[in-house]
Amino acid sequence: MYMHSRDTLQNLSSASANYLTKILNTALPLNGENSYTNSYSIQLEKNDKGFFFIPHLPVSYPIDRKLYFQIADICSAVLYPYKTLLVQNNAYFTPYNVKNPNLARAFFFPWIDGIPTRLEIERLNRFIETSVKEEKIPIMANNVSLNMNEVVHMAISGSSGSGKSYFVEYLIRCLHSFTDQIVLVDPKMADIFILGKELRLETLSPHRGSNLNSFITDVNELLGRAINMIYERQEMLLKNPKANFKRSYIIIDELLALVQGSPKQARETFAQLLGTIALLGRATKTSLILISQRFDAPAFGGNLAVREQINCSVILGEINSNTTQFLLPNAHVDNIVVPIGHGTGIIKLVNGKNDNHIMPLLTPTYKKERENNLE
């Protein structure tokens, strides 16, 4: 995913501890304390996965969340474009030299080499056929991918023109390559509706002459069927805990538009059904992919339990505390160096491995028109 030569990165790695120390000595306000007074030191992680900030106790400055993000804010910019810091939700404490009480703890700042690079796909169908599987949907160059076995539920947010629909189409085409158990809900009867018809997927959109009230009722019936399937799978798991199911996806576009203006009773039913699927979907391999220009409590009908079950969040377009506050309420996004351009943003996946990491994202570009002509 990164564009710099091995020599450049190795040279930076050998010197970066001293380089960061000099930068922090100049920029970090610590009541006059610095590395020259032996108040802290910087060390690289032995596998070059990040760096440690080790306070040498006793010190006069507080070792807290504020200090952690002060350091992150400074280093995120000065390391660009050689390293990309992986932003955390909170201060990342780790044991360091536990035999010495004065050096027993450190802040850890994980990083990855270089900067994210966009994946460019010449022939989409051929690429999906050869490079996509359930365990690996490529999203950026150099083997940056999503393992859909780790994605329980996903939320994709982005304002109009952010590249959201383009990315969602790519994702649906990839999912369709390994499962036909996909149901699409498109209140606008637009991009996703057209794609669903092309791929011959079950697609729910308003009928001609129908209103929002009748459409959300249809959606609730769809969600009710999904819950019945979940209960059936639960019964099978009781009989055979090792039973394996093909993952089922319910993809809802313009979630906020769906619930706005609908009657209270229908919204409450929708929220209850959505929450049930969110809570029970993990074990029964039933996943929600929810798409909206923005997310807030009304988007889920007031059921915030749905948000708590989303373990993969994609936010495209402008990244700031306002655009991320609902999906990533505790994220510190001020120091993320987000690439400029169409289809850029951030992604966070909670999978037990990198739960606190937020990564800059450039969504793939692909050519399907030429491909359709050739095939």
- Pick from 223, 193, 218, 207: nearest CA to 300: 223
Strands of the chain (E only): list them: 40-44, 50-55, 83-85, 93-95, 105-113, 120-121, 137-140, 144-146, 154-158, 182-185, 202-204, 248-252, 286-292, 312-316, 344-349, 358-362, 365-366
Q: Is residue 2's pLDDT more than 80? A: no
**Unique residue bearing structure tokens 């993320």:** 336
> Could you tell me if 183 and 191 are in contact, meaning their C-beta atoms sit under 8 angstroms apart?
no
Query: How many Cβ atoms from other residues are within 10 Å of residue 97's Cβ?
Result: 12
Mean pLDDT of 24-41: 94
**Contacts of residue 56, Cβ cutoff 8 Å, sequence gap at least 6:** 38, 39, 40, 41, 102, 103
Please list, in sequence order, all residues whose beta carbon lies within 8 angstroms of the beta carbon of residue 22, skipping any fewer than 6 positions away. Answer: none
Express each pLDDT in 99-109 by its tens digit: 999 999 999 99
Cβ proximity of 176 and 168 under 8 Å: no
Structure tokens at 364: 């793939």
For 206, the enclosing helix (H) or strand (E) is none
Query: In degrees to the nearest 10, what's the CA dihedral of 134, 135, 137, 139?
Result: 160
| Distance in angstroms (rounded) separating the CA atoms of residues 192 and 82 | 38
Predicted confidence at residue 210, as pLDDT, reads 66
**Is the Cα dihedral 142, 148, 154, 158 positive or negative?**
positive
pLDDT tens, 210-264?
666 788 999 999 999 999 999 999 999 999 998 989 899 999 999 888 888 778 8
Query: What tokens does 13 get?
Result: 């790695």
- The alpha helices in 132-263, defined as continuous H runs, are 164-176, 191-199, 212-239, 255-259
DSSP 354-371: STT-EEEEE--EE--HHH
How many whole angstroms separate alpha carbon 358 and alpha carbon 363? 15
Token pair for 200: 């011959």
pLDDT of amino acid 112? 87
Which pLDDT does position 161 carry in this prediction?
87
The SS3 assignment for 20 reads: helix
| DSSP 8-state code for residue 239 | H
Distance from C-alpha of 32 to C-alpha of 42, rounded to nearest angstrom: 17
pLDDT of amino acid 8: 42
Question: What is the mean predicted confidence (pLDDT) over 179-201?
Answer: 92
* pLDDT tens-place string over residues 47-97: 888 999 999 999 999 999 999 999 999 998 889 888 888 888 889 999 999
Rounded to an integer, what distance in angstroms lies between the CA atom of residue 300 and that of residue 290?
10
To the question of domain 120-374 being in CATH 3.40.50.300, the answer is yes
Q: Are 150 and 216 in contact (CB under 8 A)?
A: no
**Number of residues in the chain:** 375
pLDDT at 356: 66
Tokens of 157: 């947010």
Q: Which two tokens stand for residue 340?
A: 């400029």
Report CA 242 to chain centroid distance, whole Å.
29
Residue 313 DSSP SS3: strand
Give the domain ranges of the chain. Answer: 6-113, 120-374
In the chain, pLDDT over 70 holds for what percent of residues?
A: 92
